[in-house]
Amino acid sequence: MKSKLFYFLLIPLFAFAFQSCKDKDDNSSAYAEWRAKNEAHIEAIRNNPEYEAVTIPQGPGTIYRKVLQGSESKDFPLFTDKVKARYKGSFFDGTVFEDATGRITEFSVGGGIIQGFTIAFQNMQVGEKWEIQIPWNLGYGSQGKGSIPPYSALVFELELVEIIQQK
């Protein structure tokens, strides 16, 4: 009798466990078409001679830049620095999700920002303005953030205004 009761209680427990695993989907099926469009966009940029691949040593990946404004400065931010910048972010279709070009924003190069920004800042000189194309895995990834859906390739106009060196 005890063994029947044991199996009777065990079956619902397994059913609950399997259902819980199913609920932890990473959005991949819900955003499959969006992901495919974003990956196709980055592939087109990768093959576009107007854009240059940008990385950092032992970095997490590659972003793509088009220099909009050069600079004579020889100063590059370090991973440990903070910077001041202006930026405008959009999706590959041109839809703007944030425009901060009218104000200066402070960032920590090595923390609290998307990996694509970390790569860009460490390769930019003060005064430069770039258009950068960031693959989804170096942006907000498979989870997205706020109004930015999962698997979104990001396009930023980014201007490095100042380096605030950390001591």
Nearest Cα neighbor of 101 from 164, 157, 139 is 157
Mean pLDDT of 92-98: 96
Predicted TM-score (pTM) of the model is 0.80
- pLDDT-derived band at 57 (thresholds 50, 70, 90) equals confident
pLDDT at 19: 43
Per-residue confidence (pLDDT) for residue 18, from 0 to 100: 41
Residue 60 has φ and ψ, to the nearest 5°, of -80, -10
Average pLDDT of the segment spanning 104-116: 94
Which residues touch 25 (CB under 8 Å, ≥6 apart)? Answer: none
Counted residue by residue, the chain has a size of 167
Report residue 115 as tokens: 């990996």
Split at pLDDT 50, 70, 90, the class of 58 is confident
**CA–CA separation, 120 vs 116, rounded Å?**
6
Q: φ, ψ for residue 135 (rounded to 5)?
A: -60, 155
Q: How confident is the model at residue 95 (pLDDT cuts 50, 70, 90)?
A: very high
Q: What is the pLDDT of residue 14?
A: 43
Domains of the chain with CATH codes: 30-164 (3.10.50.40)
Mean pLDDT of 102-108: 96
pLDDT at 54 over 70: yes
- The Cα 120–Cα 156 span in angstroms is 10
State the pLDDT confidence band at 115, using cuts at 50, 70 and 90.
very high
pLDDT band with cut points at 50, 70 and 90 for residue 22:
very low
Q: How confident is the model at residue 74 (pLDDT cuts 50, 70, 90)?
A: confident
